[in-house]
Amino acid sequence: MTSLIQPKRGFDNAEFEKRFAVVQSKMREQQLAAILLTTEHDINYYTGYLTQFWQSPTRPWYLVLPSEGLPIAVIPTIGVECMSKGWMTDIRNWSSPHPTDDGISLLTEALVESVERAKAASGFTNIGISSGREAHMRMPLCDLEQLKVNLSNHDKQVEFVDATVIMRRQRMVKSPNEIEKLRYVAQTVSSVFERLFEFVHPGMTDAEVFRAFKIQCLTEGVDDVAFLVGGADQGGYSDIISPAGPRKIGEGDVLILDTGCTFDGYYCDFDRNYGFGKVDQSAHDAYEAVWEATEQGFLAAKPGNTPADLFHAMNDVLQKAGALGDSVGRYGHGLGLQLTEPPSNTRWDDEVFEVGTVMTLEPGMEFAPGKLMVHEENIVITENGAEYLSRRALPKMPIYS
Amino acid sequence: MTSLIQPKRGFDNAEFEKRFAVVQSKMREQQLAAILLTTEHDINYYTGYLTQFWQSPTRPWYLVLPSEGLPIAVIPTIGVECMSKGWMTDIRNWSSPHPTDDGISLLTEALVESVERAKAASGFTNIGISSGREAHMRMPLCDLEQLKVNLSNHDKQVEFVDATVIMRRQRMVKSPNEIEKLRYVAQTVSSVFERLFEFVHPGMTDAEVFRAFKIQCLTEGVDDVAFLVGGADQGGYSDIISPAGPRKIGEGDVLILDTGCTFDGYYCDFDRNYGFGKVDQSAHDAYEAVWEATEQGFLAAKPGNTPADLFHAMNDVLQKAGALGDSVGRYGHGLGLQLTEPPSNTRWDDEVFEVGTVMTLEPGMEFAPGKLMVHEENIVITENGAEYLSRRALPKMPIYS
């Protein structure tokens, strides 16, 4: 068992007040009257409303962040008790599901109030929504259309505009309390990975390996094993996102496990590779190449640099190692309340890292036709460069023998 | 350990061919050229593409169901290997994330092809999307707007129309193979619930109870404990969706656990209530009331009846038992690839049950101010009425003593 100290759950009101002050100042910069949020992680970030109930797709949930005044939640009655435990005070609710008005009248009222206050204070009437890249609106499109009609009937000047970048940029930079949770879950899972050969043996099926791994992670202290993909194959694998199957691990196999476990809503996301018996030399070479690529990505991870810098640092190593291609599309990404968050370590992502940015480094390559090797670690960017949140993988592939 | 036989994973191609034939006939009835799908469960239903990779929100995934010809997947390259293992043959891909064209050109082409074929065969040009109640589109709104422009530039007659009801109605009726998976996971979890006092004891915190329960479910054979909510409190609980906290179970407590475990992508969703020592009589009475309400809901569950019939059958019992109200908003719902699916057991839902409809019965009541009692079972509707998929809860609250 690990001797890690579990961080306190939740956050003090001061943290939410600060988050809200930051987004309010951004709203004013961008001349927005309010922002309307609909997704689990955006709403959790600003309210502390953490629940697995989001898995039920039936009910919409709304949060209005006004540029003047306090946030307004417009949510189904079933969530009021849970949300009231946090810092939110203005929680309006209706019995959902509803046949004709699933929260839209209440939401219209909340937005009209917010726009009226903003108009009086600053003249702003636009409402920001998440309509940009890598985002979606978790509400029925028919209700979004109805909302537009309602608001336009109230005031022709009200328009929806894209505000995706505001939330993306704010959430990219983590607070010390967030980093503590991220470090805890990454360290906990590191311990499980380091002891893998204690509970995984040749002859087990991929499905048995997954089950054993999940039980170990729960036993060691994660809240949930929300994401686990991978599998084993001869001398390397070809698919890293399929569910576990009935194939048994045998001599010459390479096993990858890539997991997103959570603590208090915060994710780790990293992988480990393992060999069984005599593994083809090309897989050993590929392991060392992706490990070295991670080293170089780590060195490039500092304030002022960009995901594109990380991409090039890692890609140089992989190209020299003879990479045939890459089907993943990027070499890592942001990490936090979601398994993957913006930005992406691609050739083109020029988001600027700040102190507190949390990223994964995930160099991957096809090292022989149909054979992949993917490695991943979690880091946080500090004033002096990067620090690992996960405990670094071994520089050579661990072998079960 | 249970002696249940684990069903085969996946489905034969014949099952997907049948699902596609059904939706094609509905498209022709409703004069649609094609349907565009964007969400995990709709795409899984028609393609067999089962992966946890959906937890990464970065990449969009598209499936075009044409009224003439075969389905076309338009997906990120990272998913091609996994999707190719199933029945899909036309899989088009791009390296995602992409800075300027995250699949929209490819998707435009696929839709244009589908519309052209439909136009030639039937004259239809409309494209169905999920823009209705309880649905959302999992794609950036800016990309949906771009797609509309692209299609309109190609042919002014092309319009998006709501087709939510087609998928909702089709997915509501489960095949024998789907029911077998649903029964397996519900029976497996029933066993865990029946042995709860073997691994849950007074003095454990809610968080410890959750952890122990998850490990037991995994050990018994579920793939994932995707959803677990609940907790304990004196003489009844007030909140059924918060995460587990540090409170310790003690004398006089009532504990509820409500779980959605999965097998091969299919969910159970039911709960159990337990008492510890001497529990207030009002909680015993409420337990028996919700248990009896479930009996009455079960008797009303037959082909030709509606969720509203179930609502009234259950509500009559709860009203007689002195229910003060209900914050859940319904007494159960559909169940399958999602924890909750349409329809909803409400006063107003008049969807007609068919043989193969799978539902939860979930009567809940506030039996004293701030004290809830919620019960839930899973059923399938057969020619002769309903059958339980979960093993029926005990008619009196089980007490740890």
| Cα–Cα distance for residue pair B165/B133, rounded to 1 Å | 9
Instruction: Please determine, for residue B111, whether its predicted confidence score (pLDDT) is greater than 90.
Output: yes
- Tell me: the pLDDT tens digits for A58-73? 999 999 999 999 999 9
> Alpha carbon A103 to chain centroid distance?
28
| A58 with B342: Cβ contact below 8 A | yes
Radius of gyration of chain B (CA): 23
B366 - beta bridge partners? B372
Assign residue B306 a region (left: φ > 0; alpha: ψ between -120 and 50; beta: otherwise): beta
| B140 with A129: Cβ contact below 8 A | no
| A51 with B229: Cβ contact below 8 A | yes
State the number of CA atoms in the 13 A half-sphere of A151 facing the CB.
27
Contact criterion met (CB below 8 Å) for A254 and A181: no
Burial letters B19-30, b for 16+ CB under 10 A, else e: bbeebbebbbeb
Instruction: Please determine, for residue B221, whether its predicted confidence score (pLDDT) is greater than 80.
Output: yes
| A215 with B218: Cβ contact below 8 A | yes
- Span A211-219, average pLDDT: 98
Q: Hey, is B379 helix, strand or coil?
A: strand
Which of B82, B96, B260 faces A241 most closely, judged by CB atoms?
B82
Residue ranges and CATH numbers for the domains of chain A are: 13-170 (3.40.350.10), 173-400 (3.90.230.10)
DSSP per residue, A216-242: HHHHHT-SEEEEEEEEEEETSBS-SSS
**Mean pLDDT score of chain A:** 96
What spatial distance separates the first Cα and last Cα of chain A, rounded to whole Å?
24
Phi, psi of B53 (to 5 degrees): -65, -20
| pTM strictly above 0.90 | yes
Nearest to B257 by CA among B301, B298, B204, B309: B204
Q: How many residues does chain A have?
A: 401
Which of A55, A143, A229 faces B339 most closely, judged by CB atoms?
A55
Contact criterion met (CB below 8 Å) for B43 and B82: no
Nearest to A50 by CA among B258, B39, B244: B244
Which of A96, A134, A264 faces B58 most closely, judged by CB atoms?
A134
- Span B246-274, average pLDDT: 97
* B148 exposure class (CB count in 10 Å sphere: 0-12, 13-18, 19+): middle
Locus of tokens 């304030």: A303
3-class SS string, A60-79: CCEEEEECCCCCEEEEEHHH
Contact criterion met (CB below 8 Å) for A311 and A343: no
Which residues from A are below 8 Å from B215, CB to CB?
Answer: 215, 218-219
Query: Token pair of A131, please?
Result: 């309509």
For chain B, the maximum distance between any two Cα atoms, rounded to a whole number of angstroms, is: 73
Residue A363 Cα, gap to closest chain B Cα (Å) = 14
Radius of gyration of chain A (CA): 23
Query: Token pair of B112, please?
Result: 């244009």
Burial letters B199-216, b for 16+ CB under 10 A, else e: ebeeebbbbbbbbbbbbb
Instruction: Please determine, for residue B84, whether its predicted confidence score (pLDDT) is greater than 90.
Output: yes
Query: Token pair of A298, please?
Result: 């780590």
> Is the model more confident about A47 or about A3?
A47
- DSSP annotation of B394: P
Which of B98, B339, B348 faces A99 most closely, judged by CB atoms?
B348
State the number of CA atoms in the 13 A half-sphere of B251 facing the CB.
1
Q: What's the complex ipTM?
A: 0.96
> Alpha carbon B8 to chain centroid distance?
20
Query: Token pair of B250, please?
Result: 């003690």
Locus of tokens 């036993």: A219
What is the predicted pLDDT for the residue at B1? Answer: 43
Instruction: Please determine, for residue B328, whether its predicted confidence score (pLDDT) is greater than 80.
Output: no
| Cα–Cα distance for residue pair B230/B247, rounded to 1 Å | 12
- Tell me: the pLDDT tens digits for B61-73? 999 999 999 999 9
Which residues from A are below 8 Å from B9, CB to CB?
Answer: 243, 245
Residue B259 Cα, gap to closest chain A Cα (Å) = 10
- If pLDDT is split at 50, 70 and 90, which confidence band does A3 have? low
Query: Token pair of A107, please?
Result: 């939401």
Which residues from B are below 8 Å from A242, CB to CB?
Answer: 51, 81-82, 85
Residue B120 Cα, gap to closest chain A Cα (Å) = 30
Which residues from A are below 8 Å from B328, CB to CB?
Answer: 78
Residue A326 Cα, gap to closest chain B Cα (Å) = 9
- If pLDDT is split at 50, 70 and 90, which confidence band does B17 have? very high
| B129 with A139: Cβ contact below 8 A | no
| B81 with A239: Cβ contact below 8 A | yes
What is the predicted pLDDT for the residue at B255? Answer: 98
Nearest to A13 by CA among A80, A85, A77: A85
Which of B78, B82, B240 faces A329 most closely, judged by CB atoms?
B78
Which of A58, A76, A142 faces B344 most closely, judged by CB atoms?
A58
Locus of tokens 């504990």: B255
* A153 exposure class (CB count in 10 Å sphere: 0-12, 13-18, 19+): exposed
- Tell me: the pLDDT tens digits for B35-57? 999 999 999 999 999 999 999 99
Contact criterion met (CB below 8 Å) for B170 and B130: no
- Tell me: the pLDDT tens digits for A94-129? 999 999 999 999 999 999 999 999 999 999 999 999
Nearest to A51 by CA among A21, A24, A19, A73: A73
Phi, psi of B137 (to 5 degrees): -100, 125
- CB atoms under 10 Å from CB of B86, counted, come to 18
Q: Which residues contact B168 (CB under 8 A, 6 or more apart)?
A: B134, B135, B341, B342
Which of B9, B51, B142 faces A131 most closely, judged by CB atoms?
B142
* B4 exposure class (CB count in 10 Å sphere: 0-12, 13-18, 19+): middle
| Cα–Cα distance for residue pair B229/B187, rounded to 1 Å | 19
Locus of tokens 């393609």: B47
What is the predicted pLDDT for the residue at B3? Answer: 59
- Span B271-278, average pLDDT: 98
Contact criterion met (CB below 8 Å) for A283 and A373: yes
CA angle B173, B178, B181 (to 5 degrees): 140
- CB atoms under 10 Å from CB of A320, counted, come to 11
| Cα–Cα distance for residue pair B398/B276, rounded to 1 Å | 9
Which residues from B are below 8 Å from A181, CB to CB?
Answer: none
Least CA distance to B342: which residue of chain A?
A58
Least CA distance to A269: which residue of chain B?
B56
Could you list the beta-strand ranges (E) of A137-293.
160-162, 224-234, 253-263, 266-267, 270-276
Residue A120 Cα, gap to closest chain B Cα (Å) = 30
